[in-house]
Structure 1
């Protein structure tokens, strides 16, 4: 009876959070993140409910049997609803997905930290902070191979280089060197300093191209969440005097940029985020106030306003169930890139939350890998 009640409660909560994901900072935040990133893991609840229900049936325990039936049905709904939506979306886009890949990575999370043996200092900020990045070199890459400058997320106030290491390994396997950038975080209020640090790292990479055998004309950028925002901003504002690098480096045109669930218009994002005060507090720390208090700075640090015909090709991936970054952030950027005649792709993934790539074998992550592999400048051949 106790197990049946617990299974029914878990399944009911799962369905509720999949249907109506609560915003960050509210009770159930972590559960919603898990259920949306790892939906097929809920089939374990289904299987347990089936076994326990058969046991209850054998012993003619009607109430536990009924509760197990409820848990079975609800857990199936929670597991298959977002998964089938994603599968259907991928099939329409001719992107292959694999249940075997999901299962093989069932207990693997794309999480990490800085690796001291890879760490280099790419600059010193005016406040004396040494700025670090980690170098992930591809094995057996030909001369003049491309590189990716990776910018981590964390709402501009947390996070670290190396926090999503499976992307670096995957890119290395495909012949790209990866430069995983750390940058100064708020508080105190950073404003232009964070993108200035990213530009400093970009310039350092270009200046060391010969040392690493990379082609300085084929340096792309990629970032998740706040890192996506900073990658877009650095790529779109090349040479803009209002957003200088935080160290003495040359301007570097970017070959392409991959934006994974990053905001593009900050004032609008502040007002429409699904996570309310959790996001707004981070943005006030980063920008020193609300959009009403700092309207010019919110606009200055919004990539949307830098789009023109010179913008690099752009790939955006954003979940339709993202609780931090509303879908209209991607749509606004896509419309601006259309108007400017810039090559771009925008993919709005059904049943998918913020940070979906924490599940390296997840269906949304498989989709993202396929699109990124097709989009980036070819590394070999």
Structure 2
């Protein structure tokens, strides 16, 4: 009887080893080329495809070790024929090799990104630098922050205050996370982070890697809250962000910031809100009760932004995930709520007075197509006096900057340099005016 039990265990582990190989194959292919069709996939399927692609792609070193461990553990108890075992081992080895090659290609991105930035910004970009340049080999990767993402909060040069509550308006309290240099100072530039999450979920920790780097450069940074749908509808999300900006400027002295040197960044839905803050400065429609407050910002950065509010409703599959999401966020469709969609779409606003901006878009983004960022840049640049930069990041998935992955370590330093450059230009402009 015990012999039969062992036979069953061997059979089950053998089946498990085959299934583990098939699952590993699917997960790796999804990293190399996203498998979900963003126009036709149901929302949960699309999110699952994105989530798995993001986790495996951004945590590739951890995944390779986990995958090896799972394979070896199952192999110990399996009774596969040697030819089958070595066949499965060969498949896994090829998958591991593909992921390692992908990481090597990502480490070679900085040179290509540098060329893009110089082509769009000219030689002035060469004058800016970063204290921690992007790695260009496996030896230069910050492995500590990759394996222990929370270690970025232990930088002795900065201090981080989580969950600081502030009164956005009477009766409405929101929270922010504050990052600033440990040494006191005055009139520092401010960077505001607006997290993503489809306007329905999200975490203030999403921008921690960039904010910690900027704080170590002498900036004061904060990641702000805003309320979510379906509790509220657009444009209340934007109004909450402007309320946070109002509070920050009113506490400029306590925060040791220059109230006229405020930059905004965000990812995905947060990128949309950051751009809308840049486009709708001082617009009374989005400042109820504080119409006279200055909400102009001096620059913006958007990671993998969700800018297109309309095309999901035009000849797309009825299960289109963005369509269903926007129906919740907007409270309806462009037919039922045309004014809400018009006010919330960056493509409907004049960009004549927009401050300098930078967009980043990944080439392997499951949720947002590259074409959306390209069209947004073209639209903004038609009227904008200030340059609107687009950095195309090959191989990058949606959310590539959320923690210090190898992709983030290669890309975020360019955002740091861009922000420093724009602040230097702002200071130079002020000096010229005086």
SS of the counterpart of 2:310? Answer: helix
* RMSD of Structure 2 on Structure 1 (CA): 3.5
- What is the aligned partner in structure 1 of residue 372 from structure 2? 329
Distance 2:151 2:44 in 1: 21
Larger Rg belongs to: 2
Task: Give SS of 1:157's match.
Answer: coil
Deviations 1:212-251 (A, max 9, x none): 2211121100111111111110121112233225646612
1:262-317 Cα shifts (integer Å, max 9, x gaps): 22221135669999544333221110012333233222112233342311111111
Does the 8 A contact of 1:147 with 1:215 survive in 2? yes
How far apart are 1:149 and its partner, in Å? 1.4
Question: Is residue 108 of structure 1 aligned with residue 148 of structure 2?
Answer: yes
Q: Within 2, Cα distance between the matches of 1:142 and 1:111? A: 25
Aligned length: 373
CA 1:373–1:271 in 2, change beyond 3 Å: closer, same or farther? farther
Question: 8 Å contact 1:21–1:32 — kept in the other structure?
Answer: no
Distance in 2 between the 1:319 and 1:283 partners? 22
Secondary structure of the residue aligned to 1:205 is helix
Q: Secondary structure at the match of 2:35?
A: coil
Deviation at 1:346, TM superposition (A): 0.7
User: Which of 402, 414, 417 in structure 2 is aligned with 1:374?
Assistant: 417
Structure 2 residue matching 1:91: 3-state secondary structure: helix
Post-superposition shift, 1:4?
4.8
Change (3 A) 1:275 1:349: farther
Asked whether the 8 Å contact 2:134–2:410 carries over to 1, the reply is yes
Report the 3-state secondary structure (helix = DSSP H, G, I; strand = E; otherwise coil) of the residue aligned with 1:358: coil
- 5+ long unaligned stretches in structure 1: none
How far does residue 259 in structure 1 lie from its aligned partner after superposition? 0.5
1:36-73 deviations in whole A, cap 9, x for unaligned? 32334444368669989x99xxx982210111011111
Secondary structure of the corresponding residue to residue 376 of structure 1:
helix
- More displaced 10-residue stretch of structure 1: 325-334 or 14-23: 14-23
| Residues 52-105 of structure 1: per-residue CA shift (max 9 Å, x gap) | 9x99xxx98221011101111133224424x34434443223384343425333
The partner residue of 1:167 within 183, 187, 210 is: 210
The superposition leaves residues 118-161 of structure 1 with CA deviations (integer Å, 9 ceiling, x where unpaired) of 51314226xx4323333333222532110011111111111243
Number of the residue aligned with 2:44: 25
Q: Which has the higher helix share?
A: 2
Query: 2:165, 2:173 within 8 Å by CA — same for their partners in 1?
Result: no
Give SS of 2:416's match.
helix
Q: Is the partner of 2:376 in helix, strand or coil?
A: helix
TM-score normalised over the length of structure 2 = 0.75
User: Which blocks of at least 5 consecutive residues in structure 2 are unaligned?
Assistant: 1-12, 115-132, 153-159, 428-434
1:63 aligned partner: 84
2:112 counterpart of 1:92: yes
Tell me by how many angstroms 1:107 deviates.
Answer: 2.5
Partner of 1:12: 25
Residues 249 and 85 (structure 1), Cα distance of their counterparts in 2 relative to 1, 3 Å cut: farther
Out of 385, 399, 404, the position equivalent to 1:355 is 399
